[in-house]
Amino acid sequence: MGDLILIAVGSALVSNVVLSQFLGICSFLGVSKKTETAVGMGGAVIFVITLASLVASLLYKFILQPLGFDYLNTIVFILVIAALVQIVEMFLKKFVPSLYNALGVYLPLITTNCAVLGVALNNVQDEYNILESVVNGFATGVGYLIAIVLLAGIREKMEYNDIPESFKGIPIVLLTSTLMAIAFFGFSGLI
Amino acid sequence: MNSCGERLKNGIIDENPIFVLLLGMCPTLAVTTSAMNGIGMGLSTTAVLVMSNMLISMLRKIIPDSVRMPAFIVVVASFVTIVDFLMEGFTPSLYDSLGIYIPLIVVNCIILGRAESYASKNPVLPSIFDGLGMGLGFTVALIAIGLVREIIGAGQAFGYQILPLADEAAGTGGYVPVTVFILAPGAFLVLAVLAAIQNKVKINMEKKGKDASKIQSGCGSDCATCGGCGASAGKGKE
């Protein structure tokens, strides 16, 4: 149990997926204009990463590893993630339309989000068992949610600020991320 | 039809994937702690890009339109796996320092983007040179960012100490490295300044009345492309 909490805190805060591992930067910069959409994107990422970690580690433990096909990791994982996102989208559309309306638009964006593949590969590299993989996936998703919602909140406030002309747009967002990344160093004493 | 030399110049200067198109941000930020890492990442991405462009261009009449995205992903992922093993065997120290970012070349938007927008529509030879140009442009940008971070953050260039460090024990003065530049926040900071410089150049060009429309910036289009990839990858699966 203690191990699981350590993994969770480590992935969510200490080595935050966006601010210290640089995974999923594209959507982090692109979908953080409003807090509402940021929350939607964060929720969708938590959902998909948790599910993808579960499926990827099941596949690895019961098919790839026993048969000695470890070297196919990258190919298998990316295809599984692409298929999984598609199945989740169809499933939600059919059976949980309210959730689909909330997350639907963000789901296709997630296939090419390197955070999902990154977590699946990390789980294998760090030799986590299935439960640990799922916890790690969920915590990584939570870390992503925290980072993107914080950034969106700051960006909403910045709308009304007088920013030098050449720093408008992406540069000021990157500067904000710099300061957030420095702030997240504060968590490194936790573990 | 574009000549091969033109494809090279286009990739390195006119449509530089990092500085102009803002594609492939994850590896750009993550591995540029030193210029050597930049070279390693850039060249391995170039290798994958050239080979996948070549194969996809050869297969462009065979792959049915509806399943092209999954097919592209399989091609790219296979080449990435090959590069991954070659690097593990021949450059183990580089392999260790790049770590998880090598398999993550698969989800680099540059590669799927070029496959979709160029290689799947053009003959083999121009596609190879398009891949080479884009890859070299990516490499040059990574080296530039890596150099800035390495010089400021450690006083080194390509692993050699170029700025003598201060030594308090010996009482000699010298350069005091700003360590934050080789840590995570430094990546964001350097890229922010570079993007601001690019904005500045663009504004100046517009003031002079030159056509700056070629320089498009923005994650907006980038993310749309990524999303597009994802969306059509999904459609292929249905």
Domain-by-domain residue ranges, chain B?
A: 4-161, 183-237
Question: How confident is the model at residue B231, as a pLDDT?
Answer: 36
Low-confidence ranges of chain A (pLDDT < 70): 104-105, 111-112, 191
pLDDT digits (tens, 9 = 90+) for B225-234: 443 333 333 3
Interface contact A26-B25, CB threshold 8 A: yes
Question: How confident is the model at residue B171, as a pLDDT?
Answer: 66
pLDDT digits (tens, 9 = 90+) for B72-81: 888 999 999 9
Instruction: Please state the ipTM of this predicted complex.
Output: 0.82
Low-confidence ranges of chain B (pLDDT < 70): 1-2, 20-22, 167-172, 209-238
Contacts of B185 in chain A (CB under 8 A): 178-179, 181-182, 185
Interface contact A71-B81, CB threshold 8 A: yes
Interface contact A117-B104, CB threshold 8 A: yes
In the stretch 14-43 of chain B, residues with CB closer than 8 A to chain A read 22, 25-26, 29-30
Contacts of B195 in chain A (CB under 8 A): 169-171, 174
The residue type at B100: I
Distance CA A136, CA A12 (A): 8
Question: Is this prediction's pTM over 0.90?
Answer: no
C-alpha distance from A17 to closest chain B C-alpha (Å): 11
What DSSP assignment string belongs to A29-58? HHS-SSHHHHHHHHHHHHHHHHHHHHHHHH
Interface contact A24-B112, CB threshold 8 A: no
Question: How confident is the model at residue B237, as a pLDDT?
Answer: 36
pLDDT digits (tens, 9 = 90+) for B115-145: 888 888 888 888 999 899 989 988 988 898 8
Q: Count of alpha carbons within 13 Å of B181, Cβ hemisphere only?
A: 20
Backbone angles phi, psi at B183, to 5 degrees: -95, 180
Question: How confident is the model at residue B168, as a pLDDT?
Answer: 66
Token representation of residue A61: 């433990």
Q: Are B26 and A114 in contact (CB under 8 A)?
A: yes
